Chain A
Amino acid sequence: MSQPGTIVINPSAPVRQRAERNDDERKGLTLISAPFFYALILLAFPVLSVVAHSFWTQNYLTIDYSFTLENYRVALTEPLYQQLLLRSLRISLTVGIATVMLAYPMAYFISFYGGKRKGLLLFLVTLPFWTSYLLRILSWKIILGRQGALNTALMSAGIIDEPIASLIYNSNAVIVTLAHCWVAFAILPIFVTLEKIDRLLLEAATDLGDGPLLRFLRIILPLSATGIVSALLIVMIPTVGDYVTPRLVGGSEGIMIANAIQSQFGRASNWPLGAALSVVTMASVALMSGLVVVVIRALVRLAR
Chain B
Amino acid sequence: MRMTRAIGRYWLAAYALLFMLFLYLPVLLISVFAFNNSAVPAFPLAGFTTKWFGTLAGTVPIHQAAWNSLKVALFTAAMSTVLGICVARAATRYAFRGKQMIKGVIMAPLILPEIIVAVSLLIMMLRLGLELSLVTVAAGHVLFCLPYSISVLVAGFDGFDRSLEEASTDLGETAFGTFWRVTLPMMMPSIISSLLVAFTVSFDEFILAFFLGGTSPTLPVYMFAQLRFAAKLPAVLALGTVILVVSILLLIVAETYRHRAERRVKFEGN
Q: Enumerate chain A interface residues (CB-CB to B < 8 A).
A: 21, 24-29, 31-32, 34-36, 38-40, 42-47, 49-50, 53, 102, 105-106, 108-110, 113, 119, 121, 123-125, 127-128, 130-136, 138-140, 142-143, 147-149, 152-153, 156, 180, 183-184, 206, 211-212, 233-234, 237-244, 248, 258, 261-262, 265, 271, 274-275, 278, 281-282, 285
User: In chain B between 225 and 264, which residues have their CB closer than 8 angstroms to a CB of chain A?
Assistant: 227, 236-237, 240, 243-244, 247-248, 251, 255, 259
Q: Are B123 and A109 in contact (CB under 8 A)?
A: no
Q: Are B224 and A134 in contact (CB under 8 A)?
A: yes
Most B CB within 10 A of own CB, among A21, A35, A132, A206: A35
Given A142-B237, A149-B42, 11 additional A-B pairs, CB 8 A = A35-B87, A43-B120, A46-B117, A125-B23, A134-B206, A135-B240, A139-B29, A237-B111, A241-B113, A242-B113, A258-B113
Nearest chain B CB to A55's CB is how many angstroms away? 14
A-B CB contact pairs (8 Å), 20 listed: A21-B95, A25-B95, A28-B95, A28-B96, A32-B99, A35-B83, A35-B86, A38-B146, A42-B142, A49-B123, A50-B120, A106-B19, A125-B19, A132-B204, A133-B204, A135-B243, A139-B29, A242-B115, A244-B207, A261-B115
With a cutoff of 8 Å between Cβ atoms, the chain B residues found around residue A125 in the complex are 19-20, 23
Q: How large is the interface on B (under 10, 10 to 19, 20 to 34, 35 or more residues)?
A: 35 or more
Q: Are B240 and A132 in contact (CB under 8 A)?
A: yes
Q: Whole-angstrom distance between the alpha carbons of A248 and B223 in the complex? A: 12
**Interface check B27, CB cutoff 8 A:** yes
Nearest chain A CB to B96's CB is how many angstroms away? 4
Q: Enumerate chain B interface residues (CB-CB to A < 8 A).
A: 1, 4-5, 8-9, 12-13, 15-16, 19-20, 22-24, 26-27, 29-30, 33, 40-44, 83-84, 86-87, 89-91, 93-99, 102, 105-106, 108-117, 119-124, 127, 139-140, 142-143, 146, 197, 200-201, 204-207, 211, 220, 223-224, 227, 236-237, 240, 243-244, 247-248, 251, 255, 259
